[in-house]
Structure 1
Amino acid sequence: MALLTFIGAAQEVTGSCYLLETRDGARVLLECGMHQGRRDDEARNRTPFPFDLRTLDAVVISHAHIDHCGLLPRLAREGYQGPVYATESCCDLLELMLMDSANIQEKDAEWENKWRARLGKPPTTPLYTQEDAQKALSLRRGVSYGSTVEVARGVRVTFHNAGHILGSAVVEIEIHEQGRCRRLAFSGDLGNTCSPLMRTPTPLSRADVVLLESTYGDRDHRDNQETLQELADILEQAHKDGGNVLIPAFAVGRTQDLLFYLGRFYQEGRLPQQTVILDSPMAARANEIYLRHTNEFSDSDREYIRGTGTVKLSEWLPPLRTTQSVEESMAINRIKSGAIIIAGSGMCTGGRIVHHLKHNLWREECHIVFPGFQAIGTLGRNIVEGAEKVRVLRQRIAVKAKVHTLGGFSAHAGQSQLIQWVGHFENKPELYLIHGERTKMDVLQAALLDRLAWQANIPEPGEQIAF
């Protein structure tokens, strides 16, 4: 008999964290993600861990997005010294993601303390530091797709391709105790089958308990070709309007998708802009990691790129410029027209995109393209939902630019894809919906009952189940 506790990402999108305990005393933490969104949500990242980290045998990470791994440095700072298991390419991305996150934590604390000093308030400390991130990174243990590793006594883990971002995994956990084998399948974040570069998520057929993400459980994404045509139309209209195109994008995953599509447009003679700027040193480094793992790309997209005769990103998308320094980033704001500017963060909660919004959001000739999910409480969500004015860098800015949402570019599976993937399981194991807003979970729960005659459960935060 094993016990599973839903610590995070229960009736919410971020903060992924689950504790698995066996009767034989093994304790494995599945995910250690950061809460993102509203100020209250982010404040939860400082609350004490609801478990004794000294008794943990291992941590297992599905992929390198911060809402799945972002609290690993804090875990290490507070004394965890055990292994952290992830796929090999995920381990590469973890270094990029956690060091960047630690740098943000340090800079945010520095900025906050300047204001606190003026108000006579005591200083704050960063959630964690780059030194803490290095401690966490020293614990990484890379595992290849399809290989099985024993992470604790009687607990074996196999990573399968989830098709979400590079190195993303469906996590299959086998618990062997007292002559029995129980299986837990964790979807992680399942990829959109229309996403470029990534492979189709690997289906599984056997489990006793399934944890299924539900980020887009309430709807399907638009047809991929329709979405690409919409993006092409937006770029053409922005060219005619004489403004810039701003695209807030996650440095890992979404940016690589966008560069692939913009490169296709260029190769096909359909890119009107003369300048594409990637204003994200982190995304530029992620590009290098992706190019080291092209064996994980889908066969069709790898063949398409090879067929164009390009071997470098500079040949695939010649108008591309990348920035490194803050000065180079600031210089972009002198460009008033003809540029596509891709920058993070993807939900506009910070990063360089915020500065570009300050200089372009109020301009009617500009276009803002949101290619991904915007969590409740984020600046991106407020803009998408039609706010006439928003607060950017402590200033109220009028939203005059044309705003577009391209749901077809999501790296998450849509409702039908989620149902199709989970439908491969035989005998309808216990099913729990996670990683989604409650309203979206309710819709997916009803759809599963209607299409598969399968009653899914929606766990409460902190709920425990035995299996």
Structure 2
Amino acid sequence: MQIIHHGAVNGVTGSCHQLDVNNHTNNISSYLIDCGLFQGAETAGKSSAEQLQIDFSIDNIKALIVTHCHIDHVGRIPYLLAAGFNQPIYATTATAALLPLVIEDALKVGVTRDQTLIQACLSRLKKLLVPIDYNQWFLLPINPVPKNSVINGDTFTKAKLKFKPAGHILGSAYVEIDLTGPKNHHRVVFSGDLGATYAPLLASPKSPYRADTLVIESTYGDKNHQGRKDRSKQLKNIIESAVKDNGVVLIPAFSIGRTQELLYEFEHIIYRNKNNPMWQNIDIIVDSPMAANFTQQYRQFKTLWDNEAKNKLAQGRHPLDFNQLTTIDSHQDHLAVINYLDSVNKPAIIIAASGMCTGGRISNYLARFLPKSTTDVLFVGYQAQGTTGRDIQNYGPQGGYVYINDQKIDIKAVIHTISGYSAHADQHNLINFVKRMHHKPSHIRIVHGDDEAKQALAKEYRKLIPTAEIVIGKEC
């Protein structure tokens, strides 16, 4: 058995990992876990074609396993299909429902507006998609071991897969792959992206019973988030301070996950502040058709919500649909809203993608409102190196500038960051994920993080399991 990484090994994007089984024989079986897009600094020095190409052989790949449908985990799937991939694509039931929407949007934004080509790609994707419920073992296709091969402790004749809730976004999962043979049993766990504990809407992930080999993300491997009460209070305080001058508050947020968590939190704040006219009257605008579609999917899959969210529904509250919420659909309406907000002396909260400000409708808001001192920009998620979001975080407090759509934009807006709303597990969560395993891994590969985060997490794992082999990033 061996694991090869085709992304998210030196940084936090482009997640794509290949598990090779029986690679000592002439009938190898391989499984691909995610096939994501590179973003930010990880695209530096690469042409668009180089960033997107499938530069590895797919001849032995028996299946693609999707942990969740964020673009840095699924964005290269159209190019995988174009390269001739024609094997099953396994995903949780909710992810299978969301994935075509994500891929369609990615094609429209980054590849083509030709509806015939888009539909051809989506049709092929849907034929290969196999929805699987959480917590169910199912067999993976595996090539038979050739008769002339040596059957040793590293030979496996059976492979099975289970999706376990990861608590990151709707449908997200970590993956257990169980390999068995005449002389061996080995369990490999791929974390995908793990969610933070006590996040709204989705239940926290529970550790697997066993992992022999663990491939784990480390986005916040060197940081801990604020507690939920603290971050909710900070969100409320920032908004109340920000709108005193009647300026707009811009919140870049991913269409899946972060947007829904923010809506949930705003509904909670509005409900608890019934006597505060500001909270009862402020407009909260979600300017993203994609986010609106995903919010509808969150409502459809409310059986996956945590108990707190379900209790609110039982009380007749609607955490993702309340009076002050407005959703913008068409591009014409999007431009009209920007012009309207720019012409009136009226506060508003705008949530728009992309979450790292690398494109999407948030770019138009930033270009118009960053030069205004009455504007506040609130970051609630990780900003990768080389992204516009990271540049605004770094240079905004200094009164610097950024380039948006090839235009130099001065930053006079006030910049805020609340890390507690990240959909990623923090260091404490990542340590507990391993600590709470009954059978702890003897081999850990740390991926999907900046170097400092990976090193810090590795240090903690070495304390926890001194005998384990810990491999970091570039060493993988």
Q: Scaled by the length of structure 2, what TM-score is found?
A: 0.88
Q: Deviations over 1:312-368 (max 9, x none)?
A: 844xx2111111111110011121431111100000000000000111111111110
Shift of 1:310: 2.5
Greater displacement, 288-297 / 173-182: 173-182
Could you say if the C-alpha distance between residues 321 and 83 of structure 1 is closer, same or farther in structure 2, counting changes exceeding 3 Å? same
Candidates 81, 92, 109, aligned match of 1:104? 109
Shift of 1:240: 0.8
Q: Which residue of 2 aligns with 1:424?
A: 436
- Output the CA distance in 2 between the equivalents of 1:230 and 1:208: 41
Candidates 205, 221, 240, aligned match of 1:201? 205
Q: How does 1:61-460 map to 2 (within 5 A)?
A: 61-106=66-111, 129=118, 131-153=120-142, 154-269=158-273, 271=279, 274-307=282-315, 309-311=316-318, 313-314=320-321, 317-333=322-338, 334-336=340-342, 337-387=346-396, 388-425=400-437, 426-453=439-466, 456-460=470-474
* Matched-pair contact (CA < 8 Å) for 2:454–2:472: yes
Q: Deviations over 1:203-243 (max 9, x none)?
A: 11212101111000011011211111111011111221210
Find the residue that maps to 2:6 and give its secondary structure: strand
Find the residue that maps to 1:233 and give its secondary structure: helix
Shift of 1:178: 3.4
Q: Deviations over 1:128-164 (max 9, x none)?
A: 9553244223211000001111121222110000011
Shift of 1:272: 5.9
* Structure 1 unaligned blocks of 5 or more: 111-127
* Matched-pair contact (CA < 8 Å) for 1:34–1:69: yes
Greater displacement, 169-178 / 33-42: 33-42
Find the residue that maps to 2:87 and give its secondary structure: coil
Q: Which residue of 1 aligns with 2:34?
A: 31
Greater displacement, 363-372 / 428-437: 428-437
- Output the CA distance in 2 between the equivalents of 1:105 and 1:348: 15
Q: Which residue of 1 aligns with 2:51?
A: 45
- Output the CA distance in 2 between the equivalents of 1:82 and 1:255: 33
* Matched-pair contact (CA < 8 Å) for 2:219–2:453: yes
Alignment partner of 1:9 is 2:18: no
* Matched-pair contact (CA < 8 Å) for 1:36–1:42: no
Shift of 1:429: 2.0
* Paired letter, 2:314: R
Find the residue that maps to 2:329 and give its secondary structure: coil
* Matched-pair contact (CA < 8 Å) for 2:280–2:324: no
* Paired letter, 1:326: H
Shift of 1:175: 1.4
* Matched-pair contact (CA < 8 Å) for 1:45–1:71: no
Between 1 and 2, higher relative CO (CA 8 Å, sep ≥ 6) is seen in 1
* Paired letter, 1:26: S
Find the residue that maps to 1:103 and give its secondary structure: helix
* Matched-pair contact (CA < 8 Å) for 1:106–1:129: no
Q: Scaled by the length of structure 1, what TM-score is found?
A: 0.90
Q: Which residue of 1 aligns with 2:64?
A: 59
- Output the CA distance in 1 between the equivalents of 2:240 and 2:13: 35
Q: Percent of pairs identical after alignment?
A: 33
Q: Deviations over 1:65-123 (max 9, x none)?
A: 1111111111112211111001000101101111100111135x99xxxxxxxxxxxxx
* Paired letter, 2:416: H
Find the residue that maps to 1:456 and give its secondary structure: strand
Shift of 1:22: 1.5
* Matched-pair contact (CA < 8 Å) for 2:442–2:469: no
* Matched-pair contact (CA < 8 Å) for 2:253–2:381: yes
Could you say if the C-alpha distance between residues 129 and 330 of structure 1 is closer, same or farther in structure 2, counting changes exceeding 3 Å? same
Q: Deviations over 1:164-189 (max 9, x none)?
A: 10110010001123342211011111
* Paired letter, 2:266: L
Could you say if the C-alpha distance between residues 201 and 312 of structure 1 is closer, same or farther in structure 2, counting changes exceeding 3 Å? closer
* Paired letter, 2:86: Q
* Matched-pair contact (CA < 8 Å) for 1:213–1:434: yes
* Matched-pair contact (CA < 8 Å) for 2:169–2:256: yes
- Output the CA distance in 2 between the equivalents of 1:346 and 1:57: 33
Greater displacement, 280-289 / 136-145: 136-145
Shift of 1:452: 4.8
- Output the CA distance in 1 between the equivalents of 2:236 and 2:127: 44
Shift of 1:304: 2.8
Q: Which residue of 2 aligns with 1:121?
A: none
Moved over 6 A (4+): none
* Matched-pair contact (CA < 8 Å) for 1:74–1:132: no
- Output the CA distance in 2 between the equivalents of 1:201 and 1:254: 17
